[in-house]
Structure 1
Amino acid sequence: MNFANTPSFANQGLQPGGRLFLCVLTSLALLIGDSQYGLMEKARDAISVVLYPLQRAANVPLNLTMQVGDFFTAQAALKRENDALRERDLIQSSHLMRMSSLEKELQQLRQLNALAAQPSHAGVVAEVLYTGRDPFSYRLIIDKGSSSGIASGQAVIDENGLIGQVTRVQPLSAEVTQVINRHYIVPVMIERTGHRALLYGFGGGVEVRYLPISTDIRDNDLLVTSGVDGVYLQGIPVARVKQIDRLGGAAFARVRSEVIAGVQSSRFVVIMPNRRLPVAPPVPPPTDAANTDKKSP
């Protein structure tokens, strides 16, 4: 490089060695003055104020990284806590529903045991296991059979009224045909008036048929067993009148009714004993006068 045209003032000043000596001397003086007399305290304060925004700006990426990490950590913890609370809530809900069901069953059992303990309703308490194979046959299978003294033809009731009748018996179980079976007939009477009638099942419900159109029957009348068939005790609630059809010119009224017992919901039932009817008196033999009358021409 050609230094011929270099300005003369660039060659002026101390030599590098002198400059180094001057810088070292100045540094020592500042160090001694700061350590002994605190000469740089205010300078440091001023510099820290100027550099503070730069320090905050330099820490922004680290703070953002930490905040993002804390956010995802908190979200994961909240999700785990939420899942645990949801699982606990489901468990407690299932326990509550189970407790409600058990309480209902306990109340039903108490009522049935009290009913079965009555002298006029002495019977056997049984549990409904399942329904028949054909859902439209309206039959139930109970957990008591001939080994428990159950016999075909016995009436089956719950705490509200008549469920049906035992139609098939096995040693450890029995089949119950419900009153809503289409082949089922129950002799009943209107509790309010005592008028007797026949209640027919029609597959899912019951109705009174062949009732004279002039019969005194009203909506909401209670139909109870009449006891004339020798199977059911008198006065067991069976159904309640819901609709009466009296067609003009017809000889009979059609009475639609609603079953009172829980034919589709009861879990426990009572099997009633067969009703013991009094023995009919013997027919007296014909008298001699009657025989004489028969022989005379």
Structure 2
Amino acid sequence: MKPLFVRGPSPLLRMIVAVILSLGLIIADHHYDHLGAVRSTLTLAAYPLHYVVDLPAHMVRDTQGRLTSAAELRARNAALHRENLTLKARLQQFEALEAENMRLRDLLGSSFNVGERVLIAEIMSLEIAPYRQQVMINKGSRSGLFVGQPVLDANAVMGQVIQTNAFTSTVLLITDAEHTLPVEINRNGLRSVAAGTGLSQQLQLLHIPKNADVRVGDLLVTSGMGERFPPGYPVARIKTVRHDPDNPFTTVIAEPTAALDRSREVLLVWTMDPALQQRAITETQPEETAPRP
């Protein structure tokens, strides 16, 4: 009677044969490269299986990458936005510094023309009201300022110090209704007094005879009278000359050449006679105030 199942080689023998065949194939492939075409064909056939197996992991990685990229893009966008705002703010500061540098250059240029001891101060606050034209600067008696000291900007006379303390001073502008300034016409030397009108861009010359040689556009400079302002400082230009029949004098209106409503820095000068300056400083220190001129 024949058996139902033919007994084959033992499992150990099969394993030994398989190992020998595998080693033979590896050696043959390594030395002779005869199985490259077969390996490529098997790899191509197995590619769909590899793709299907790797698809879930690939989808997870892709989703994580997209989420991470979106978060990074939002973070980068926010960082760039902050950096843009910072750069814009710095640009504004640079523009302000450039403008300030130009103003300081103008002031230094005028100080070279003055040829005297000078000090640059910054305007802290201003009081521009009808018939009231004053500013406060950030220099005081500790810096040597005294009542009556001339104050200029890069273009012309602005006013004079009327009150000081240790760290600040008050400057009365030439347009204040209580300020008067001895001037002369630069063209012909005609002397007069320029009085403030309380308006920021207007001075009036007092007691000009009707036959006086006064023309629109004439430059007014300090005459040196009154021992406050030395002669030769620009003050204003004549804007209007009017002859009124009912007025025994000519009405002369002048416009200050100083930028009274735009200057940020002012120039303090020491041009007074040393004896008068010392007396002014001595009178300033006890009271720190003085009557307006």
Percent identity over the alignment is 30
1:59 aligns with: none
Q: Of the candidates 254, 257, 260, which is equivalent to residue 257 of structure 1?
A: 254
Maintained 8 Å contact 1:116/1:125: no
CA-based RMSD: 3.0
Q: Of the candidates 184, 207, 211, which is equivalent to residue 208 of structure 2?
A: 211
- The two structures have a TM-score, normalised by structure 2, of 0.61
Write the distance in 2 (CA, Å) between the matches of 1:257 and 1:84: 56
- The two structures have a TM-score, normalised by structure 1, of 0.60
Write the distance in 2 (CA, Å) between the matches of 1:87 and 1:206: 50
The structure whose Rg is larger is 1
Partner of 2:115, secondary structure, is helix
Q: How many residues are paired up?
A: 202
1:162 aligns with: 157
Partner of 1:257, secondary structure, is strand
Q: Which residues of 2 match residues 44-123 of structure 1 at below 5 A?
A: 94-117=89-112, 120-123=115-118
Higher relative CO (Cα under 8 Å, sequence separation at least 6) belongs to: 2
Runs of at least 5 residues in structure 1 that lack an aligned partner in the other structure: 1-76, 280-297
Amino acid in the other structure paired with 1:230? E
Q: Which residues of 2 match residues 23-34 of structure 1 at below 5 A?
A: none
Alpha-carbon offset, residue 136 of structure 1? 5.2
2:177 aligns with: 182
Alpha-carbon offset, residue 266 of structure 1? 0.7
1:194/1:141 Cα in 2 relative to 1: closer, same or farther (>3 Å)?
same
Amino acid in the other structure paired with 2:107? L
Write the distance in 1 (CA, Å) between the matches of 2:205 and 2:114: 31
Partner of 2:270, secondary structure, is coil
1:236 aligns with: 233
1:113/1:152 Cα in 2 relative to 1: closer, same or farther (>3 Å)?
same
* CA deviation vs aligned residue, 1:161-181 (integer Å, no higher than 9, x gap): 011000001011110000110
Runs of at least 5 residues in structure 2 that lack an aligned partner in the other structure: 1-72, 277-293
Q: Which residues of 2 match residues 134-153 of structure 1 at below 5 A?
A: 137-153=132-148
Write the distance in 2 (CA, Å) between the matches of 1:86 and 1:221: 55
Amino acid in the other structure paired with 1:100? E
Write the distance in 1 (CA, Å) between the matches of 2:248 and 2:275: 36
Partner of 2:183, secondary structure, is strand
Alpha-carbon offset, residue 249 of structure 1? 5.0
Amino acid in the other structure paired with 2:136? I
